[in-house]
Amino acid sequence: MLLAIILFAPLFGSLFASLFAFKKKMLIAAIVPVIALTISLISAFVLFPNIVDGYVEYIDISDWIIAGSLNTSFGFMVDGVTMIMILVVLVVSLLVHIYSIGYMSHDECFNKFFAFLSAFVFSMLVLVMSDNFLGLFIGWEGVGLCSWMLIGFWYKRESASFAANEAFIMNRIADLGMLLGIFLIFYSFGSLRYIDIFPYVGDISQFTLNLIGILLFIGAMGKSAQFPLHTWLADAMEGPTPVSALIHAATMVTAGVYLVIRANPIYDLIPNVSTFITYLGAFVAIFAATMALVNRDLKRIIAYSTLSQLGYMFVAAGLGYYWIALFHLMTHAFFKSLLFLGAGNVMHAMNDNLDITKMGGLYKPMKWTAILMTIASIALAGIYPFAGFFSKDKILEAAFIDGSCFLWAVLLLGALLTAFYSFRLLMLVFFTPKRYEDSLHPHEASSIMILSLLPLGILAIFIGFVESNFHHYLENYYLPLKSMEIDSATLAMLIAFALVFALTGIIMAIIAYKKGFKLIAESNPIYKLLFNQYYIPKIYNDFIMKPYKGLSRFFWREIDLRIIDFVVDFIARIFVWSGEKSRITQSGNLSQSLILMICGIFTLLIILLLIF
């Protein structure tokens, strides 16, 4: 019963809000989804103590597809991994919903926004709670659809429509790989349920297992915006800021990491694919961080930060430390949603201006937002005792223990860059002299928006202390817990290095931007390379989009118009002409009709004689 409430309460909220989708703003359209999410979250907390020591809660709602050997039901489960994801999704989503009441208060599509937002949460719950790959895929596609509706929520803006379509299409490309992987899973195991697959993954050929792992990870690359399918993530900032917070913290981009964690019995047996995941994650961690160093768009900087942190999560998962990947996913959700919602406060104060070089001096009029965003930035930088320190430090330890000093050094550099760009943002927005126009009068956000941020601020400080309990909570599930034995002296050295690099990045940013120093001159080729995202969007535009448009125009002009339309029109003209000529047979003249009948009979007789 509790499991059903957890799953379907957000759907109820979405359907209720949709009843008022085309009406003027009605507060009830937001309050009911918030109440529904609160009930769902309370139910999750009630169920939480039962999901211990390897216990798994199942619910089978009904049969779904029964065709030949395929027998799939609407089945859902909650184990330790699912329970963590449910709590993260619901806590962040509830606070985002509450925040949105203030943020979207003047939007003419207020009611419709909450219908979409709750549907987004429901789709993510279907994804994480399904007990089979097909149900996971349904939630996966539901998340994709809701993201399209929310990124393009202000569809009258061309940039928003483009961003929504870009995210949707790029994810559909990746999802084809995932769908092929699911087909191959069914072909190999005869089932799509996790309990029918994971205990027997060693029974199929290594080649097939590698192919399944690769295809599933292609889907994860799209959803979690890993290179080269990453460009949609920054452009997705065209949506309302609460949507950005939900996408980056609790839904959408975390789905790819969850897929790899959930399918860990497969990835444990394909070390080559796991190694690729590890090094791709390390590359993305640096790749995204460098772009955040020079970007001037408030939300895009935070988006690149998400991309970088996803790289850290994939490093942990690729190394086989799945619990650390899940732990970083959890801690990251709280401080990243706090950063995005804080950015939403700044946007409101600056009349939707996002250029951080045209801000400054916002600490005095926006003290609460400044303090909360500082807490989130310290957590992101990985400073003790904030949440990011515990999870990111564990990933660095895992890389070192695994014997890859190069990987550890790369991630350490990423930590320095993260600290630098995080405090670059803070300095330019809050702690440098004002650079905005005098016509602007910045002010603090409404009380409901600030109050919804406070729990996230508390979690960003203290949630890291659950590390030990988190580790033991997962030890009786499918999640393998690799040993992290290391002597105290080495551990102290690793922690010291991580803290020194993070503090160095923070101090460099504070000193540099307090004095108005620019890290790289805007005329510098390196600056241009980073600011233009390594010219990857331009490459996609010039070598994929433009040729595709040209080919489409060619087929439309030469094939569609000149051949297909010509053939269809020619057939139509023949029928029109034959109809016109046949009208004489319907003159109503009896003598003429008799003559035509005789001619017809005579013609038929000739044909019969020729045949026989």
- Percentage of the chain lying above the pLDDT 70 cut: 98
Query: Taking residues 104-132, what's their average pLDDT?
Result: 92
What angle do helix axes 405-426 and 367-381 make, rounded to 10 degrees? 170
Closest CA to 150 of 230, 237, 85, 90: 237
Q: What is the mean pLDDT of the chain?
A: 89
Task: Give the whole-angstrom CA distance, residue 240 versus residue 146.
Answer: 13
Number of Cβ atoms within 10 Å of the Cβ of 35: 15
Q: How far apart are the first and last CA of the chain?
A: 77
- Tell me if 349 sits within 8 A of 365, measured CB to CB: yes
Beta strand pairing call for 57-67 and 70-78: antiparallel
228 cis-preceded (ω within 30 degrees of 0): yes
CA atoms within 13 Å, Cβ hemisphere of 567: 5
- Tell me if 317 sits within 8 A of 265, measured CB to CB: no
Q: Would you place residue 518 in the very low, low, confident or very high pLDDT band (cuts 50, 70, 90)?
A: low
Look at residue 525 in the predicted model and tell me its pLDDT.
86
Alpha helices of 58-157 — where are they, by DSSP H? 80-103, 110-129, 133-151
- pLDDT surpasses 80 at 92: yes
Task: Give the whole-angstrom CA distance, residue 271 versus residue 279.
Answer: 12
Look at residue 438 in the predicted model and tell me its pLDDT.
76
DSSP letter, residue 586 = G
- pLDDT surpasses 80 at 394: yes
Query: Taking residues 569-586, what's their average pLDDT?
Result: 83
What angle do helix axes 367-381 and 387-401 make, rounded to 10 degrees? 10
In three-state secondary structure terms, 64 is strand
Look at residue 526 in the predicted model and tell me its pLDDT.
87
Tell me the per-residue pLDDT of 463-509, one tens digit each, with 9 for 90 and over: 999 988 888 888 777 677 776 778 888 888 989 999 999 999 999 99
Sheet strands (E) in 97-163: none
Which tokens sit at 228? 């080269």
Query: Taking residues 573-582, what's their average pLDDT?
Result: 84
Task: Give the whole-angstrom CA distance, residue 370 versus residue 605.
Answer: 98
Task: Give the whole-angstrom CA distance, residue 569 versus residue 348.
Answer: 56
Q: Using CB atoms within 10 Å of the CB of residue 527, give its burial: 0 to 12 exposed, 13 to 18 middle, 19+ buried.
A: middle
Q: What angle do CA 366, 372, 376 make, to 5 degrees?
A: 140
Task: Give the whole-angstrom CA distance, residue 29 versus residue 277.
Answer: 42
- pLDDT surpasses 70 at 516: no
Which tokens sit at 357? 């070089």
SS percent in the chain: helix, strand, coil, step 5: 75, 5, 20
- Taking phi over 0 as left and psi of -120 to 50 as alpha, with beta for the rest, 52 belongs to beta
Q: Please give the residue that has the higher pLDDT: either 66 or 415.
A: 415
- pLDDT surpasses 80 at 591: no
